């Protein structure tokens, strides 16, 4: 690479061009400039990456705190609502059972009475105590046939007996 300098001398009125050659260490300067440029670029990249990583860590820490706060709030809400949920479930179950018993009360009572009679089949049953509403529903069912087979048996209405409950009076070893 060369360097040219132009001088105009007023006395001669001519322009003189002086040319000088640059020393060879110019290539070294280019290499040095490129090396420094790469180092600065890498340092800038590393600094930006480090700052980015710090920002990401800060965001992750904030998200972790938010998640823990939400978990705590969820547990608090569950604790506050748990008793109410249990009450609601029990009320729904109670209503469902009541509806089922209301629809099929005759069948339920029949099953209870048949089971009670079968348990004491070998013994003589003298009296079967039932709620008056249950007695009306049992008439015409197969329980009356079971009682007809045993001549000493009879169904008695008793208002002190709750619906679905059967009282048996029996003699053992007769």
Which residues span the domain enclosing 145? 104-171
Name the nearest CA neighbour of 157 among 142, 138, 135. 135
In a domain, 16, yes or no: no
pTM given for the model: 0.34
Residue 159 reports pLDDT greater than 60: yes
- How is residue 138 written in tokens? 């049992």
Rounded to an integer, the average pLDDT of 76-93 is: 85
In a domain, 42, yes or no: yes
In a domain, 40, yes or no: yes
Same domain, 82 and 120: no
Of 103, 132, 161, which closes a domain? 103
**DSSP per residue, 62-84:** HHHHHHHHHHHHHHHHHHHHHHH
Rounded to an integer, the average pLDDT of 110-136 is: 70
């Amino acid at each position: 690479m060369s360097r040219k300098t132009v001088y105009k001398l007023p006395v001669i009125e001519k322009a003189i061009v002086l040319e000088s050659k640059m020393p060879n260490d110019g290539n070294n300067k280019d290499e040095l400039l490129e090396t420094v440029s790469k180092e600065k670029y890498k340092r800038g990249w590393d600094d930006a990456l480090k700052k980015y990583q710090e920002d990401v860590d800060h965001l992750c820490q904030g998200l972790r705190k938010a998640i823990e706060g939400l978990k705590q709030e969820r547990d608090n809400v569950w604790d506050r609502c748990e008793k109410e949920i249990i009450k609601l479930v029990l009320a729904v179950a109670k209503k469902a059972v009541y509806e089922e018993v209301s629809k099929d009360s005759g069948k339920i009572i029949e099953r209870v009475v048949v089971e009670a009679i079968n348990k004491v089949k070998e013994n003589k049953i003298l009296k079967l105590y039932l709620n008056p509403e249950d007695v009306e529903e049992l008439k015409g069912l197969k329980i009356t046939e079971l009682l007809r087979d045993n001549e000493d048996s009879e169904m008695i209405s008793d208002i002190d007996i709750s619906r679905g409950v059967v009282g048996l009076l029996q003699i053992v070893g007769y």
